[in-house]
Structure 1
Amino acid sequence: MCRAARPLHATCDTIQVAMLPVPPLACSQAWTAGAQRAFLRAACMAHALQADAVEPVHLLWALVWDEGHAGTRLAGLGLNPDSLQRQLGLPLLPATIDESPPPSLPWADAALSAAVAALSMAFEQQPHSEASTDHLLWSLCQPPLPTAELLRQCGLEASAWKVGQAGIAAEDTAPVPLPPDQTLRLREPATANPSDMYRLLDAAANRAREGLRVLEDYVRFVWNDQHLARLCKECRHDLASILAELPTMALLSARNTLDDVGTRVATAAEYQRSHPFDVLIAASKRTGEALRSLEEFGKVLNSQLGQRCEQLRYRLYTLEKAILRTGYNRERLAEQRLYLLLTEELCPRGAGPVLHAALEAGVRMVQIREKRMADRELVERCRWARRVTRQAEALLIINDRPDIAVVVEADGVHVGQSEFTIADARKIVGPDRLVGVSTHTLEQARQAVLEGADYLGVGPTFQSQTKHFNELAGVEFVRQVAAEITLPWFAIGGITVENVGQARSAGAERVAVSAAICAAEDPALAVSELLAQL
């Protein structure tokens, strides 16, 4: 009769003998490596012989192959795979047996009993110790197992010997079985060599520092992005604070670059970077991996060290997103200088003539901004604008309506501080469409970069015909953003041909304009004059 596998009944450090999992290998911490190999070989043999279950004879056959005490003892008795096969009447085995984990087989009651007896013997001799192949061999000598008679004929009887740490020795009495409700404590895992741990942590720390420095150097010296450079620097300093908890001399003493096998292993891809963007991606991934290694192995020394590395790793993920999206959108919007906000009621001659004239004069980014239009009418207006802008190879953005942006296949959506969040808009429009956001303070602009905005509206710069503001962010806000942020941004709010120079002097390289073009006598001329100053 075969017994189905039982679930492991255990706390974090105990196992009920009466609920031993099947196969015994599932409880790996209770067995030596040799015993675990024996269980695996027994299961492989049973599978190769197409047996219905793993039996004691399969365990004995596995022990014959053992190179430890049990195998040596059996070899001394003249038992080898061939002789055992003949004496037990086993079918002829295949020439080779696959020792990869076989499909799940049930374990016969007799095989289970042998495993339980081996565990009981190990615990009786020394609590918290592992059961070995010696203990398994002793258990297979127990009547009425079918292996007991064969082993008795070979000179092994359970009543005549015991299993000790040094192997098999004479014994006057058989051991007392462990009560079924007795629990076994798993042996505490061996502590890693401190020098090895410090060597690993030192290598991970170096990779993390180097990766952060690569990111910081690029955003600082190539982009002149003060905001992202400051965030990189803060991460570096926080990493240094974490690493200060580790003994510096222990890390240096454990370092062994000359014998590091990794220095002699390389792939062709490591030396190929076709674009600076590839460098940024590689550096951010390397830093994240290093922080994860510091986090996991740091827990071995200090749980707080692991927690602090985890928090820093999460910050890196946000920083990585901000850096990579900034790089992507700097290229995507590199040619955009003038952004037309098209509103029907601001166009005395109609939005159609204004849009055509603006596109012919050089506008390549248009936003449909209609606050009072009914949804169906708005959808039709946006579809018309999509056809026109697509012919001109211009970008089309929909104000405040990510759903309509998707319906009309626009290039993106623009949201304000009181409408959709960037994250919610992104859920609707997907990863590829642009999500722009209006900002009115420096803190809002910084936060929008971290949240994944593709571009910013920065303002209001001047009083506007389309909106009335109780407070103006003004030219000073434009100057602040210009000093810190290189994610593409547009100065917005009341910008005209007459005052665009002030915005430009404050650092604006791009502007968003509505009435200055929509209400102009000659929209094309207005576009040309604005572009000339940008």
Structure 2
Amino acid sequence: MQHLLTAGAQRALALAELIANNSNDQVTNPRHLLAALAHEESRAAEILQSHGIVQNLILQEFELTLPDSEAESDLFETEVPLELSQALYRFPQLKDVLNRALEQASQTSLPVEIGSEHLLWGVLKTEGPHTDWLVNQGAISSDSLAASFQGEHQQAGDPIDVDFAFRTVPATVSDQTNTFRTIDAAANRLREGLRVVEDFLRFTLDDAHLTRLLKTTRHQLTEALQFIGQDSLIASRDTLNDVGTAISSTSEFDRSSLEHLVQANLKRVQEAARTLEEFGKLISVEAAAIFKQMRYSLYTLEKSVLTCVSSQHRLEDCQLYLLATESMCHHGCGPAIREAVAAGVCIVQIREKEMSDRQLLEHGRRAREWTREAGAILIMNDRPDLAVAIDADGVHVGQDELPVREVRQIVGSRRLIGVSTHNIEQARQAVLDGADYIGVGPTFTTATKQFAEEEYAGLDFVKQVAAEITLPWFAIGGINAENLPEVLQAGATRVAVSGVICRHEQPGQITRELLDQFTR
């Protein structure tokens, strides 16, 4: 038997995960879920409020932080019913809560989906600081909560005889005209918004990769509208009598920055796509399916565009990226890192393959102190768990390590995720996966990592990435003072180096010499 969760219960679980990430907690626990359940107009929120419990009290007590409104708005896009088994797989740390919720939902003789009120029961019945706090508040108990369930899901009686029957009313010509009119307006809104975003990608970001993806979306719109019928849309258009043209708000004219402008238009096209999908179902199932696919692709595009803009700001001053390995450094990692960051390196990666976990943890903590004192970014190679443990600024993974999605689950939303790429397809995919920056290489032969001769991407790969990707990227692999001009000439504006600094007797001096080449 399938046990499904209501949309409200799904949103609460997703919001709990966002609250955990936003509060820098590694796992989602019942306290995060309690705060999420008090967040919206749900049955659980009503029960909590009736006992004097509001969300601010929970957030303050357990030092939790809500996500921003943009992240929160994505919670309302849930369409697919979620089975309990899927929820248990996604939220294993809430296993006891979900099982308790199922037990409560199963008390009735009627099939009942697991709702937010059942999750609240599960939270209350799972021991922890949250239950002690609720009891000490004298606000809510198992008995008082159980009373709230009574009468809500009772056995249905015999059907009531009625002297009428429901009948369906066929759509009139006027109904169809209004449907076409709605689709026409939404299509125009989507088309206009896409053009604004495209102009931003072309003339502000100069990003050929994302521009190409957006053009694909515009082609999808054209394809879908062929199923609707362009003649019907034009014939139904009535702009002069559209009451919406005379209604406006001050927020329509509030564009504080280019980023704000593009974000507003990305939201606009997503909303228009949803309207097209819903009203399109009345005219063409084929068109509605394309509109739905477009909407999901627009969510990915939004994430890629905004991540690109955010990462550009965050890594703006990072031209030289140091990969530090203890055994490679002439005087050890400490002097190499300290001298390099003092000379202008803004981002450092700990790259150790031989250390035990405990040694790497202690080494990482020392590196965290060195970089923090200099205001430099610290990245942990391959190990998202240790990146969190030492409070690094991010983690870097290769093609054979954990994917970006799984790494994000571990390190949260604030830490950077870098991905090594060896061909243009991998680079494009890393952008869509949500990487904050990418490594591009290997450019030349290198002593830090072994590649087969045919696997060296070389300067041609650097040129490819330079031509179409504006997410911050670092050319990497065998770069030194002698060949750096070739890399810069190929289009790189950021490079990652290792041996050229680590092996040098004066790491600070060679760092300054490398940085000088960026300004020539």
TM-score between both structures, scaled by the size of structure 1: 0.66
- Structure 2 equivalent of residue 512 of structure 1: 496
CA contact (8 A) 2:442 2:476 kept: yes
Higher mean C-alpha deviation, range 239-248 or range 353-362: 239-248
For the residue of structure 1 that corresponds to 2:378, the secondary structure is strand
For the residue of structure 2 that corresponds to 1:301, the secondary structure is coil
Distance 2:335 2:153 in 1: 79
Correspondence 1:118-197 to 2 at 5 A:
118-119=162-163, 122=164, 130=165, 186-191=166-171, 193-197=175-179
Higher relative helix content: 2
Distance 2:423 2:212 in 1: 18
Q: Are 1:485 and 2:477 matched, yes or no?
A: no
What amino acid sits opposite 2:489 in the alignment?
S
Distance 1:294 1:468 in 2: 51
The sequence identity of aligned pairs, in percent, is 51
Distance 1:224 1:390 in 2: 33
The one of 317, 330, 346 equivalent to 2:312 is: 330
Q: Are 1:387 and 2:369 matched, yes or no?
A: yes
Deviations 1:389-420 (A, max 9, x none): 11111100000000000011100000000011
- Structure 2 equivalent of residue 411 of structure 1: 393
Distance 2:230 2:489 in 1: 50
| Superposition deviation, residue 533 in structure 1 | 1.2
For the residue of structure 1 that corresponds to 2:227, the secondary structure is coil
TM-score between both structures, scaled by the size of structure 2: 0.68
Gaps of 5+ in 1: 1-102, 123-129, 131-185
For the residue of structure 2 that corresponds to 1:222, the secondary structure is helix
For the residue of structure 1 that corresponds to 2:205, the secondary structure is coil
Distance 1:355 1:369 in 2: 12
The one of 354, 357, 364 equivalent to 1:375 is: 357
Distance 2:278 2:179 in 1: 11
- Structure 2 equivalent of residue 137 of structure 1: none
For the residue of structure 2 that corresponds to 1:300, the secondary structure is coil
For the residue of structure 2 that corresponds to 1:196, the secondary structure is helix
Distance 1:248 1:240 in 2: 10
CA contact (8 A) 2:228 2:283 kept: no
Q: Are 1:447 and 2:432 matched, yes or no?
A: no
- Relative distance call for 1:246 and 1:105 in structure 2 (3 A) is closer
| Superposition deviation, residue 529 in structure 1 | 1.1
| Superposition deviation, residue 325 in structure 1 | 0.7
| Superposition deviation, residue 246 in structure 1 | 2.2
| Superposition deviation, residue 104 in structure 1 | 8.8
The one of 315, 320, 325 equivalent to 1:343 is: 325
CA contact (8 A) 2:220 2:290 kept: no
Distance 2:419 2:317 in 1: 19
| Superposition deviation, residue 468 in structure 1 | 2.4
- Structure 1 equivalent of residue 449 of structure 2: 467
Distance 1:244 1:220 in 2: 27
Aligned residue pairs, count: 364
For the residue of structure 2 that corresponds to 1:285, the secondary structure is helix
For the residue of structure 1 that corresponds to 2:309, the secondary structure is helix
Distance 2:463 2:153 in 1: 73
What amino acid sits opposite 1:259 in the alignment?
N
Distance 1:378 1:336 in 2: 25
| Superposition deviation, residue 319 in structure 1 | 1.3
For the residue of structure 2 that corresponds to 1:453, the secondary structure is coil
Distance 2:391 2:169 in 1: 59
Which has the larger Rg? 1
| Superposition deviation, residue 283 in structure 1 | 1.0
- Relative distance call for 1:376 and 1:104 in structure 2 (3 A) is closer
Q: Are 1:198 and 2:165 matched, yes or no?
A: no
Deviations 1:332-391 (A, max 9, x none): 111110000010011121111111110110111000000110000100111011111111
Correspondence 1:490-505 to 2 at 5 A:
490-505=474-489
- Structure 2 equivalent of residue 19 of structure 1: none
Q: Are 1:223 and 2:205 matched, yes or no?
A: yes
For the residue of structure 1 that corresponds to 2:282, the secondary structure is helix
Instruction: Give the aligned CA root-mean-square deviation in angstroms.
Output: 2.0
For the residue of structure 2 that corresponds to 1:508, the secondary structure is coil
| Superposition deviation, residue 214 in structure 1 | 1.2
| Superposition deviation, residue 525 in structure 1 | 1.2
| Superposition deviation, residue 316 in structure 1 | 1.4
- Structure 1 equivalent of residue 511 of structure 2: 527
Distance 1:322 1:213 in 2: 17
Distance 1:406 1:191 in 2: 58
- Structure 2 equivalent of residue 270 of structure 1: 252
